Amino acid sequence: MPTNWDETLKKWAETINATDEERGNGAREAIQQAIRSAPKLASQKGIEVFVTGSYRNNTNTRGDSDIDVAVVLRDVAFYELPADGSVTREMLGLRDSGYSFDSFRDDVGTALKDRFGAGNVTAGNKAYDVHASGDRLDADVAVFLGHRRYTGKRTASGAWECFEGVEMRPRNAPAERIINWPDQHYRRGVAKNDATNRRFKRMVRIFKHLRADMADQGDDEQRSAAGQVRAFVLECLVYNAPDACFNLEQGGYLKDTEAVLRWLLDATRPGADSSKLMEVSGMKPLFHGPARRTPEQAYAFLKAGWRRIFGAKGLPR
């Protein structure tokens, strides 16, 4: 257990170095080359390949070994229409595509195996696991179609307004819709980081390191709590903390960490209205949705994290 928390938090807050950025760019370029070289994908012009997750958002730590890469076909999209029926498929001119999500995912898988070798590519429930030592590549490659959420409103130009994200269907649950908003997540994360004098992303790294420390060296309660929350949830929790919780001391993070933990403990405590907590994208609630995560899990982590750093004294009730 660290004995000097002030110095430990400073170390945990450190940003990625140039080598990490190069790894992300190298992974994207390698996957992109595999897609471009695939005969079945050559005719699909709307394919985007980009790094996502912690490497794109600059919140990665040494524990984030694999790089998340998204392969998105924008020309074919899933969609959401307003529940009130104010907009219909016919009004939008939507029609079924002859190229399905399953076909696109299989074609991407074939492209990866052709490029990196079948033995280096494993198809998982949500992503392809690519480990190619010759290319120094360790990546989780997730395949998506576009996603359009129509609001029922018109833009200034008269077009139907929609928000654009990405969507996939897991192999083991093809009826489940996993909808992500990577561009909104990235933009809002950058804005939050600017508003907090670059402390938001540093605090995310602190929380991720804290979880790893609890899992590795904590007591039974801390180990259990650390195993219940994903890194994505930690980033979203920190995002919800008000800007006033950040930048409370020059050159240190102990006061910021205390303020963020205290605010989040109050926001997730039993009986609190956690429905207002949102994902970083602002497009989905953090809890009370289809994802299997709960405010109780978050509260258990935050409480154990407080004990890890500050002890039982002063623990918010």
What pLDDT, in 10s, does the model give residues 66-95? 899 999 999 999 999 999 988 999 999 899
Flag whether pLDDT at 170 surpasses 90. Answer: yes
Q: What is the mean pLDDT of residues 109-125?
A: 96
- The CA-CA-CA angle for residues 19, 20, 25, to 5°, reads 95
229, 211 contact by CB (below 8 A):
yes
pLDDT band (50, 70, 90) for residue 130: very high
- pLDDT for 218-264, tens place per residue? 999 999 999 999 999 999 999 999 999 999 998 899 999 999 999 99
Cβ(55)–Cβ(24) below 8 Å: yes
Give percent above pLDDT 90 in the chain.
Answer: 78
At 266, list the tokens: 């109050």
Query: What are the extents of the domains in the chain?
Result: 14-180, 186-310
293 vs 16, residue with greater confidence: 293
Please give the Cα distance from 229 to 127 (Å, whole number): 20
The structure's pTM equals 0.92
Residue 148 and residue 163 in contact, taking contact as beta carbons nearer than 8 Å: yes
Q: How confident is the model at residue 135 (pLDDT cuts 50, 70, 90)?
A: low
Dihedral sign, Cα of residue 216, residue 217, residue 220, residue 225? negative
pLDDT at 289: 79
Is the per-residue pLDDT at 55 higher than 90? Answer: no
| Confidence class for position 316, pLDDT limits 50, 70, 90 | confident
| Fold classified for 14-180 | Beta Polymerase; domain 2 (3.30.460)
Q: Give the pLDDT of residue 302.
A: 98
Report the alpha-carbon distance of residue 151 to residue 225 in Å, rounded: 38
